[in-house]
Amino acid sequence: SGPATVSPTGSPTGADQARMAQSGSHLTNAQGTRLYDTDHSLKAGPRGPVLLQDHHLREKIMHFDHERIPERVVHARGAGAHGVFQSYGTASAVTKAGFLAPDVETPVFVRFSTVVGSRGSADTVRDTRGFATKFYTSEGVFDLVGNNIPVFFIQDAIKFPDVVHAAKPHPDREIPQAQSAHDTFWDFVSLHTEATHHTLFFMGDRGIPRSYRMMEGFGVHTFRLVNAEGRTTLVKFHWKPKLGVHSLVWDEAQLINGNDPDFHRRDLADAIEAGAYPQWELGIQTFPDTPDQTFEGIDLLDPTNIVPEELAPVQPIGLMTLNRNPSNFFAETEQVAFHVGHLVPGIDVTDDPLLAGRLFSYLDTQITRLGGPNFPQLPINRPHAPVNDMLRDGMHQTAVHRGVAPYQPNSLDGGCPFTAGADMGAYIETPVTVPEGRKVREAPESFSDHFSQPRRFWLSMTPVEREHIIGAYTFELGKCYEEAIRVRTLQVLANIDPELCSRVADGLGLPAPEPTVPLADVEPSPALSQVGGTWPVD
């Protein structure tokens, strides 16, 4: 290609494309001026001092010095893939979302991640995994920002900084990198018993998945769907892998961490490259949108709760196939910006207090991580729907907006009239009635049972899964320095199940305490077991 040129309209030219492809017969600087040498600084003689006037040296080093952006404050380590979502149309009765209508195909980008470790940490640590999906629908972007565990550690987002500070490496030595085996984590979860259900889940096999391709995904919160007639339904989203749910065992996970810290990343990329495209069915559990937002006595606004699949079966609504690897990790996997507030008509949020905080947090953190407010313009984040947003200027603005009247209403640029009451395919918040009450910093009484659902989980495990859980608690707690933390955690275990508690206590050489709450009388849910229960996919 020839020397760099810029078209009068500012649109991308052959020069921009050549830079992206790293091709062309000449190397140039960032301004498109041809270079004759990029290996030697400009000096006063071959053995003389380097000159400050060397603008090529300064540009090259300056750019390199700024190559890194902050890693995500959580979920820093991840791997992504492109794909397609094929809707079955079975959700049409409960949502007007266009991408869930029969036979609609929607491009997607998925990022899987670990939560605690930094960008360079190992893949097969014991941790929760992120499972975030961006649907580029014709009605705008919809993000389903989920995890591979259906519950969360906390019931209110105001505690997110606390749980993350406790789970991250110790502030003094910055160890351990990405293991849960440390005092601050166990200190927090033993003092803060609403974390019990999530902790039990990730001490189980789901904490060490065999492959990203073999994990379930969960939206965790209850969402509200709205259909064409305005009727609402509460739902929980589930991804079910066609390959089934499989895990490593702890010794394997540790060996793999040493042998191939990129194990999950490599597995995903290799499978896609080989044409073994991973697939998940998306499903929903549906619940009537009653004023109390409970189902069979389970508070649907409490994100530490599951609803057993035996009580509310997961109904398949579409199939996702990941069929293309990113061509540039930074531009795609690193710069992708998921947000629970990226919603499309037909999908709304509920008053889950954890979700409320997330609705603030993602946008906020991305302003820092991606350098200002214009990250929706990055190629991986661009909607596949027309954008006419009146948002202007700012750091890293790359759009050349036209017109003189970026405000509404206006009489200069034609404007976009809002016709009251007309169906414009717009996103309309569901006009649900909110409860009346006093302004308080309190949780509802229904959030106070922290042990019944963990007990259900324990009772649902097969013998081999129980052995893994006992082994995991014994290993992790054995690494704590403070005996008081081990003792307090045994009390939590006693409130779940006496056998679990006594086996871990034996392993730690400590006495097993008696429960301090009556053991819950709950039915097991075989679907919670990876061995005992899977979804009938094919």
Residues catalogued as catalytic: 75, 147
Name which position in 73, 319, 363, 391 contacts ligand HEM (CB under 6 A).
Answer: 73
124 binds ligand HEM (CB under 6 A): no
Give 178's contacts (C-beta < 8 A, 6+ positions apart): 77, 114, 116, 117, 118, 121, 122, 125, 127
Size of the chain in residues:
538
132 binds ligand HEM (CB under 6 A): yes
Q: What is the 3-state secondary structure (H, E, C) of 402-447?
A: CCCCCCCCCCCCCCCCCCCCCCCCCCCCCCCCCCCCCCCCCCCHHH
| Rounded least distance, CB 422 to ligand HEM, Å | 35
In the block, tokens 């990226």 appear at 342
| Closer Cβ to ligand HEM, 1 or 365, answer by number | 365
In the bound state, the residue with its beta carbon closest to ligand HEM is 130
Residues 155-184 that bind ligand HEM (CB under 6 A): 157, 160
78 binds ligand HEM (CB under 6 A): yes
357 binds ligand HEM (CB under 6 A): yes
Whole-number Å distance between alpha carbons of 494 and 319: 41
Please give the helix or strand (H or E) that residue 368 lies within, else none: helix 353-369
DSSP letter at 98? G
338 binds ligand HEM (CB under 6 A): yes
| Closer Cβ to ligand HEM, 358 or 455, answer by number | 358
Tokens representing residue 488 in the block: 């307090």
Q: What backbone torsions phi and psi does residue 40 show, to the nearest 5 degrees?
A: -130, 135
- For 16-36, b/e burial (b = at least 16 CB within 10 A) is eebbeeeebeeeeeeebeeee
From 42-50, 143-151, 230-238, 343-351, give the range in contact with ligand HEM by CB under 6 A: 143-151
Q: 104 near 125, Cβ under 8 Å?
A: no
Q: Which of 153, 467, 459, 133 is closest to 310 using CA atoms?
A: 459
Whole-number Å distance between alpha carbons of 402 and 42: 43
Residues 13-72 that bind ligand HEM (CB under 6 A): 72
146 binds ligand HEM (CB under 6 A): yes
From 4-12, 223-231, 355-363, 449-457, give the range in contact with ligand HEM by CB under 6 A: 355-363
Tokens representing residue 308 in the block: 């057993």
Name which position in 4, 75, 201, 202 contacts ligand HEM (CB under 6 A).
Answer: 75
Whole-number Å distance between alpha carbons of 411 and 86: 42
| Cis upstream peptide for 498 (omega within 30°) | no
Whole-number Å distance between alpha carbons of 132 and 108: 10
What CA–CA distances, in Å, run from 490 to 119, 192, 361?
Answer: 33, 14, 34
From 206-214, 236-244, 257-265, 362-370, give the range in contact with ligand HEM by CB under 6 A: 362-370
473 binds ligand HEM (CB under 6 A): no
483 CB-contact burial (10 Å; exposed 0-12 / middle 13-18 / buried 19+): exposed
| Closer Cβ to ligand HEM, 357 or 498, answer by number | 357
| Closer Cβ to ligand HEM, 205 or 352, answer by number | 352
365 binds ligand HEM (CB under 6 A): yes
Q: 53 near 307, Cβ under 8 Å?
A: no
183-191 and 160-167 helices, crossing angle to 10°: 140
118 binds ligand HEM (CB under 6 A): no
Whole-number Å distance between alpha carbons of 47 and 251: 57
The amino acid occupying position 341 is G
From 74-82, 242-250, 277-285, 288-296, give the range in contact with ligand HEM by CB under 6 A: 74-82
152 binds ligand HEM (CB under 6 A): yes
Rg for the chain, CA atoms, rounded = 26
| Closer Cβ to ligand HEM, 143 or 497, answer by number | 143
| Closer Cβ to ligand HEM, 87 or 305, answer by number | 305
From 32-40, 335-343, 422-430, 465-473, give the range in contact with ligand HEM by CB under 6 A: 335-343
145 binds ligand HEM (CB under 6 A): yes
Name which position in 92, 95, 147, 374 contacts ligand HEM (CB under 6 A).
Answer: 147
| Closer Cβ to ligand HEM, 69 or 484, answer by number | 69
350 binds ligand HEM (CB under 6 A): no
Binding-residue pattern over the window 191 to 230 for ligand HEM, x denoting contact by CB under 6 A: -----------------------------x----------
Q: How many residues bind to ligand HEM according to rule CB under 6 A?
A: 28
Residues 307-326 that bind ligand HEM (CB under 6 A): none
381 binds ligand HEM (CB under 6 A): no
| Rounded least distance, CB 154 to ligand HEM, Å | 7
From 45-53, 268-276, 331-339, 507-515, give the range in contact with ligand HEM by CB under 6 A: 331-339
- Give the residues across from 298 on adjacent strands: 295
| Closer Cβ to ligand HEM, 128 or 254, answer by number | 128
Q: What backbone torsions phi and psi does residue 302 show, to the nearest 5 degrees?
A: -100, 110
Name which position in 282, 300, 337, 472 contacts ligand HEM (CB under 6 A).
Answer: 337
110 binds ligand HEM (CB under 6 A): no
- Name the site residues for ligand HEM (rule: CB under 6 A): 72-75, 78, 111, 113, 130, 132, 145-147, 152, 157, 160, 220, 303, 336-338, 354, 357-358, 361-362, 365-366, 369
